[in-house]
Structure 1
């Protein structure tokens, strides 16, 4: 997919649709159907893959010959086949996004001429996008590297190599030149990086360790959510390994190792096995999912939500091979204060309950 997810696609105007076949067209989105893709209407496929656009607008785009499959215009009832290339085109170029350097503090764990490792705080958006055009990590990096002749924040061959969610804290990797980006991205693609997260989840997990496997894709009911498709009909393969660190009564502190890097992977996989991340509002973890009906307990949990007002997830460990030296690099970010305080709160609750 082209990196234009910040376009307000649901604001298509009639002028954006090509009224003449000779109009110059600009590609705004591109998708390649998976090898195992089941047949599905192209309008439904695009509605699943593009956040912020209605199916009605996609159908209008198809009527205006702005939906292409393998470079040929199709109608909205076209059935997607494996490896089809689906494009959304308009007669205006994608909106240019100016990256304004902003003096936002960064916790830089490591830096050399090729790369940076940053410990991202919760609440900091990584990439500019719809509703977040400033105040992001990209803006902060542009400021830090504003005097570097090699770094252009708008050059897709440079910059952040992978993503973590806005409200997830922890380690993230930045490439400062094209060669570093190529080598580091290849390691993520080939699954040779070492990434470990820690999380607090609802419920008691009986086994000491486990493996979760199930395709992850955008929900067919709510495009803001990701979900597991256990039969592999939709989505992309995803594997998460988890291990218990501490059992704290109605919650469990775990570590997770990723084999793949799908959107919201840990959040979705843990919900799938019945252990939603603590205070994960998007996936229902901001409700009291385990425990008692006592008012005192309910107040305790609300206090915990206030202590850690986001999903309790931290990207703790990041390992990779340095693109220039070939050295194995390994970094670990300490637990942020909110998760530390949250764990202490639950330890205190359990100790008091056991008296």
Structure 2
């Protein structure tokens, strides 16, 4: 039995659930019609809408994991009996997918704690409650059991889990604070990208200026929603793409070639067992100092 919590609204259950489970829409439809998907202990329909915060039970056969555990370095900033918080390195993919079967965070987690990881997201994503892009570094929460997983996922769905990111962008900010409220969906011109589009899903990013330099700025961004590539898309949308972002920041100088300079610096959430508020923070990568030196005009390379 698999539990899946809706982090956002969706027009059709079968399409949304197929995405979540990584299978075809027809396969999910068969499960639904066979009564193997339920909401609040009641049967559901393939065409019904999905509302953020709903919890679905899916009775699907779990395949044994074929992911190979790997002894990879993990920067653990917090650990107890039900949770693990890792400071993910830039360049590390969170879970295996096409073209990335080794060297992922999941490979490392299986070697570190294979017997103590949730399976809510399926055999191929043990412990994974939320994700970070490959080239985004910073804090990510790992659940050691399904109860903790659902508790954290519910906080994400209710938008009570605080996520703070730091980044460096191009250009002069017009104000010290900004609120970008612009819907995000698939780019109609390129389905591999996301874009601000009227048909997209609600997306809100709060921005605070930390330092303005002559060429760019150091920003603090807080997610209210959690759309794919949200911070990258919103900052590009307002004319301040992230340094190193080759997808949303084209035609900018290549002073940093290792992907978008975006770091998930801090998290605040309610502990699933104790009910206490947990606040965690991580150090900024050294690349931030290097790039801000360029932004201040202290170096030209």
Runs of 5+ consecutive residues of structure 1 not aligned to the other structure: 4-30, 36-44, 51-60, 72-80, 85-92, 289-300
Runs of 5+ consecutive residues of structure 2 not aligned to the other structure: 34-46, 51-60
Whole-angstrom CA distance in 2 between matches of 1:67 and 1:173: 28
Residue 228 of structure 2 corresponds to residue 251 of structure 1: no
Structure ID, larger Rg:
1
Alignment check: 8 A CA contact 1:286 1:305 kept: no
Residue in structure 2 matched with residue 34 of structure 1 by the alignment: 11
TM-superposition CA deviations, 1:31-87 (whole Å, max 9, x none): 98439xxxxxxxxx99xx97xxxxxxxxxx99xx8896986xxxxxxxxx8839xxx
Secondary structure of 2:11's counterpart equals coil
Secondary structure of 1:278's counterpart equals coil
Residue in structure 1 matched with residue 154 of structure 2 by the alignment: 186
Secondary structure of 1:271's counterpart equals helix
TM-superposition CA deviations, 1:169-226 (whole Å, max 9, x none): 1000000011111111111111001111111111111111011111111111211100
Residue in structure 2 matched with residue 325 of structure 1 by the alignment: 274
Residue in structure 2 matched with residue 277 of structure 1 by the alignment: 242
Shift in alpha-carbon separation, 1:105–1:66, aligned structure 2, 3 A: closer
RMSD between superposed Cα atoms in Å: 3.4
Residue in structure 1 matched with residue 37 of structure 2 by the alignment: none
Alignment check: 8 A CA contact 1:279 1:287 kept: no
Whole-angstrom CA distance in 2 between matches of 1:32 and 1:310: 30
Q: Which has the larger helix fraction?
A: 1
Matches within 5 A, 1:302-317: 302=254, 304-306=255-257, 309-317=258-266
Secondary structure of 2:296's counterpart equals helix
TM-score, normalised to structure 1, is 0.66
Alignment check: 8 A CA contact 2:245 2:259 kept: yes
Give the C-alpha shift of residue 134 in structure 1.
1.6
Whole-angstrom CA distance in 1 between matches of 2:187 and 2:171: 24
Secondary structure of 1:268's counterpart equals helix
* Paired residue total: 266
Give the C-alpha shift of residue 305 in structure 1.
2.0
Residue in structure 2 matched with residue 206 of structure 1 by the alignment: 174
TM-score, normalised to structure 2, is 0.77
TM-superposition CA deviations, 1:109-153 (whole Å, max 9, x none): 01111001100110000011111112100110010003x3x4366
Matches within 5 A, 1:90-101: 98-101=66-69
Give the C-alpha shift of residue 235 in structure 1.
2.2
Residue in structure 2 matched with residue 267 of structure 1 by the alignment: 232
Whole-angstrom CA distance in 2 between matches of 1:344 and 1:275: 18
